Structure 1
């Protein structure tokens, strides 16, 4: 149970950092890439909370993994379009990669507990 709470806190911290980064996006992106990135962060948070509460965790954890992957692409796109400085991209990516490793460990643990059943 402690690991689930740790991943929740890491996700919360990453969202706070993401908000700082999103302030640097051009005004023209407020309702497009910035909005989609915010939505992806919120969906990730929601998926982690849902997975933590589900009895059958594997599918719920996989949803969190997909949401994190979507977020990775939005952040990378922002860097490639030069909306995000490289240093902030590196910090944000480091935070989301750590969450990805935690999700992977959580998924592995859930599979062992369930005997491989979804």
Structure 2
């Protein structure tokens, strides 16, 4: 596989990681004040860390461990949103939007990980 064929996937996932971060900031603004500095901050920090890991993976030659770390952080984000939904901090519609976004991002990440394993 030449480099031009391998490049679009990281660029798409970078776009998704940025969208996830933007949506996370929009969503966590609605959290109650009591958890704005705990649960909301943890969720924002995880989304920022996910974006950082995707940027690092794109720039590194050996990407496998960085991509695995990104996969772990994405799973943390999923659980944080599930917990916020259980606490009724986000609406069912908002939870569905965030769940769909994390699932789509996870599929892209999984494809990238699979591609790196084949190398």
TM over 0.5: yes
* Match status 1:15 vs 2:38: no
Where do 1:1-118 residues align within 5 Å?
1-113=7-119
For residues 69-95 of structure 1, give each alpha carbon's deviation from its aligned partner in whole angstroms, at most 9, with x where no partner exists.
Answer: 011100100000111111000001100
Root-mean-square deviation over aligned CA pairs: 0.7
Q: Quick one: distance in 1 between partners of 2:44 and 2:20?
A: 11
Gaps of 5+ in 2: 1-6
So what's the TM-score if we normalise by structure 1? 0.93
Q: Quick one: distance in 1 between partners of 2:107 and 2:8?
A: 15
Gaps of 5+ in 1: 114-118
So what's the TM-score if we normalise by structure 2? 0.92
Number of residue pairs the alignment of both structures matches: 113
Q: 1:15: Cα distance to partner?
A: 1.3
Q: What SS does the aligned partner of 1:84 have?
A: coil
Q: 1:23: Cα distance to partner?
A: 1.3
Q: Following TM superposition, where does structure 1 have runs of at least 4 consecutive aligned residues deviating by more than 6 angstroms?
A: none
